[in-house]
Chains A and B, each alone.
Chain A
């Protein structure tokens, strides 16, 4: 196969091609004009449609909109609780993945492999229904644990990559000053890795928020579940799910925007 080369462009020559596809919405950067305007169109478009429907066709749209906030709160509650847990799990998984101790490394790697190979929906069913035979967890707790365990595996890979991105000399310098491995991690490596880790963690947060709609299956009254409740009573499936989709869209667009602002700030510092 012929070797593919960049054109004789000095800038392109030095550019490393990075293909990054996440399941969150694309994070707009200021330079990325196409995406930036797409964000605006989507965001203001969604707001305009919501406003139009709620005002002009207030029955049922305004009623639906009034019914959803409880669900939005639950969605955020699940997402935030799960992400906090996932961060803790992810930190230890990441540290385990770079551990020279074979047993610890093995356990961490196995966890990541197993979790990444099982669909989140199946994990949710497993913790709530299958493990329900041994421990009876409430639906909300099952939902949070399942999401955290699943996203912890992905977080682990983010932490691992972040830690590995710090030059080896930093650890050597810290250890040479007499710091233990833990002290070096806490004071030297992790604070630096934090910068690299933060944007992908933000992405995971957005992705987790979207995936949290799966918990509606466990009778957790999140945004989607509230929509379903309203729709099945009023038989307004089209109207309700349109509204639910728009609300999800607005939330994820706002969050992805916040992530991009955070990313920019970090790059400036």
Chain B
């Protein structure tokens, strides 16, 4: 538990239906700054749906989600502002195949965060060093293994320096060294 009293993500009485299937059933959860939360459950239990609803990739049917003071599912909220601050690592990585590893990390930094190319490059290199793929910076993701692609996806999310980070099956392909 963190000592900070401010919840960075507040999930309040959230419902989500896929047709007649109830994917989220009155879910409430507060996540505080600095806290690490792990959600475990059998496949199809709604873990991914919950995470996807945190940045409105999935619309919810009832309840509300507040991230960093923004009501995510309010139509008036500038969702792009919220998403900048919520890093997202997908189960299937979704790295950009037409961009090199390096450009995968740099793209949103320059386009969204408006960082200079130099600043973005510095942050990217640092993160790629952290995830251990400095030798592959100029490669296209197609040439990388699944685990390497996932590390690129993690680094890409972190490069935005988001306030919070969501990840589905973050360690699925990563074998600890």
Residues of A whose CB lies within 8 Å of any CB of B are: 167, 169-170, 172-180, 183, 187-188, 191-192
A to B CB contacts below 8 Å, 25 in the list:
A167-B94, A169-B92, A170-B96, A172-B90, A173-B90, A173-B96, A175-B80, A176-B57, A176-B86, A176-B90, A176-B157, A177-B84, A177-B88, A177-B156, A177-B160, A178-B83, A178-B84, A178-B112, A178-B113, A178-B160, A179-B108, A179-B112, A183-B111, A187-B111, A192-B96
Q: Is B63 part of the contact surface with A, judged by Cβ < 8 Å? A: no
Instruction: Check A176–B83 contact: CB distance below 8 A.
Output: yes
- Closest-CB distance, A94 to chain B (whole angstroms): 18
Q: 14 other contacts beyond A173-B95, A177-B156, A192-B97, with CB at 8 A cut-off?
A: A170-B94, A172-B57, A173-B88, A173-B90, A175-B57, A175-B83, A176-B57, A176-B83, A177-B107, A177-B112, A177-B157, A179-B80, A180-B80, A188-B107
- Which B residues have a C-beta under 8 Å from some C-beta of A? 55, 57, 80-81, 83-88, 90, 92, 94-98, 107-108, 111-113, 153, 156-157, 160
Residues of A within 8 A of B95 (CB): 173
Bound-state CA distance A180–B55 (Å) is 13
Contacts of B94 in A (CB 8 A): 167, 169-170, 172-173
For B90, list chain A residues within 8 Å (CB): 169, 172-173, 176
Assembled-state Cα–Cα distance A25/B94 (Å): 37
Closest Cβ neighbor of A178 among chain B residues = B84
Given contacts A172-B94, A188-B96, contact A179 B111 (CB under 8 A): yes
Among A172, A176, A191, the most chain B Cβ lie within 10 Å of the Cβ of A176
List the B residue with the shortest CB-CB distance to A183: B111
Task: Provide the main secondary structure of the chain A interface.
Answer: helix
Tell me how far the C-beta of A171 lies from the nearest C-beta in chain B, rounded to whole angstroms.
9
Given A169-B92, A179-B112, A183-B112: A192 and B98 within 8 A (CB)?
A: yes
State the CA gap A183–B95 with chains docked (Å). 16
Looking at the assembled complex, report how far the CB atom of B33 sits from the nearest CB atom of chain A, in whole angstroms: 20
The CA-CA distance from A183 to B153 in the complex, in Å, is 19
Question: B56's closest neighbor in chain A, by CB?
Answer: A175
- CB neighbours (8 Å) of A191 from chain B are 98
User: Shortest 7 CB-CB distances between A and B: which pairs?
Assistant: A178-B84, A177-B108, A173-B94, A176-B88, A169-B94, A178-B112, A178-B83
In the complex the two chains form, what is the Cα distance from A179 to B88 in whole Å?
A: 13
**Whole-angstrom distance between the Cβ of A227 and the nearest chain B Cβ:** 45
**Which residue of chain A is the closest to B84 with respect to CB atoms?**
A178
Write out the residue numbers on chain B whose beta carbons fall within 8 Å of the beta carbon of A173: 88, 90, 94-96, 153
Q: Which residue of B lies closest to A167 (CB)?
A: B94
Whether the pair B83, A177 counts as a contact (CB closer than 8 A) is yes
Tell me which residues across on chain A come within 8 A of B111, comparing CB atoms.
Answer: 179, 183, 187
Q: Chain B residues near A183 (CB, 8 Å)?
A: 111-112
Q: Which residue of B lies closest to A176 (CB)?
A: B88
A202 nearest CB across to chain B (Å): 20
**In the complex, A167→B96 CA distance in Å?**
11
Chain B residues whose CB sits within 8 angstroms of the CB of A169 once the complex forms: 90, 92, 94
Q: How far is the CB of A250 from chain B (nearest CB, A)?
A: 36
Give A187 to B32 CA distance when docked, in angstroms.
34
